[in-house]
Structure 1
Amino acid sequence: MSEWERSSTARVVAPARPRRLAKVPFVELADGRLQGVVSSGSDIARVYVSSVVAGSYAFACSTNNNRPCGGARGAYCNHIRALISEAVLQFGPERVARYLKAETGGDEGPSAQSIAHAMSSTRPPQGDAAAAAPVFSRFLRHLSYLELAPVTTPLPEMQWFPPTRAVA
């Protein structure tokens, strides 16, 4: 184990399985929601910001221009279903079900389909799309890191990481 792995306090969880980044480039379990960015199936320049609130399963889906998703009228749209599927690939089905408080039942354990079914069977309310702006902003910030040249010097916005050795 390297020095930084022993001294780091931020644990990085490896993906459960490889994800399809072209369809869902950004997914996170944060702020009491499963949320992320989902690519449009019809327009390469359009993305949707989708979210599902843990426990109540209230959902929201809108474009990056804050236009509501046409498919999210009273039920989960394909963007939210894709978000759930990719979250299961990224974090594992048990963690996603536990985070969302989804009772999936069954002996074989939760799956993306059983999680979506358990949540949609409660007739979830349409949620507030207010979460879209911060989620999309975090996604854009993650994209900006891809444009940086590889360097070993610290990045100013990453200063919140603890130092690797005690400072006197």
Structure 2
Amino acid sequence: MIAPARPRKLAKVPFVELADGRLQGVVSSGSDIQRVYVSSVAAKDFAYTCSTNNNRPCGGLRGGYCNHIRALVTEAVVQYGVERVARYLRVEIAGADAGAADLVTAMTAARPSGGESSAAASVFSRFLRHLAYLELAPVTAPLPEMHWFPPTRAVA
């Protein structure tokens, strides 16, 4: 398990991951507390998708990245660091002081297209599964469904 590049606040983007050849995650709605958006950007071709948890397309997708995708990229950079996100997405960025805005600019220059929304269901399902772990009582006994995690060493 890799430690986050920096601690991040989970209110705006509660779930972000680099998986299945995409940067993907869940972004909270700015206007409705009960609505979230499932957003993703594919590696290499930067195809993107953003839809609500009810599979309605994001109104901000008008031929480019919406604010949800921009927030997702920003939080991914906080979580993983700009170098790791750029390497995963196969984005060429210049400068040691590059940030999330530079990633979005480089991806936009490649003229990405809207992608399939079929990934939204699996991303949202993984997010809900992560939330379920928060509802468990704190115990020191191992969880059978997490037996595949490697044992961790105590840091002195």
Using structure 2 for the length normalisation, give the TM-score. Answer: 0.93
- Alignment map for 1:119-158 (pairs within 5 Å): 119-158=107-146
- Alignment map for 1:1-168 (pairs within 5 Å): 12-105=1-94, 107-161=95-149
Q: Secondary structure at the match of 1:133?
A: helix
> Partners in 2 of 1:163 and 1:128 — Cα distance?
37
Amino acid at match of 2:141: T
Q: Secondary structure at the match of 2:118?
A: helix
Q: C-alpha offsets along residues 59-85 of structure 1, whole Å, 9 cap, x if unaligned? A: 000000000000012100000000000
Task: Mark the runs of 5 or more structure 1 residues left unpaired by the alignment.
Answer: 1-11
Count matched residues.
152
Runs of 4 or more consecutive aligned structure 1 residues displaced over 2 Å after TM superposition: 107-110, 159-164
**Amino-acid identity (%):** 72
Q: Partner residue of 1:6?
A: none
Amino acid at match of 1:154: P
> Partners in 2 of 1:67 and 1:157 — Cα distance?
32
Change (3 A) 1:72 1:150: same
Q: RMSD of the alignment, in Å?
A: 1.4
Larger radius of gyration: 1
> Partners in 2 of 1:123 and 1:162 — Cα distance?
40
Displacement of 1:161 in angstroms is: 3.4
Change (3 A) 1:85 1:163: closer
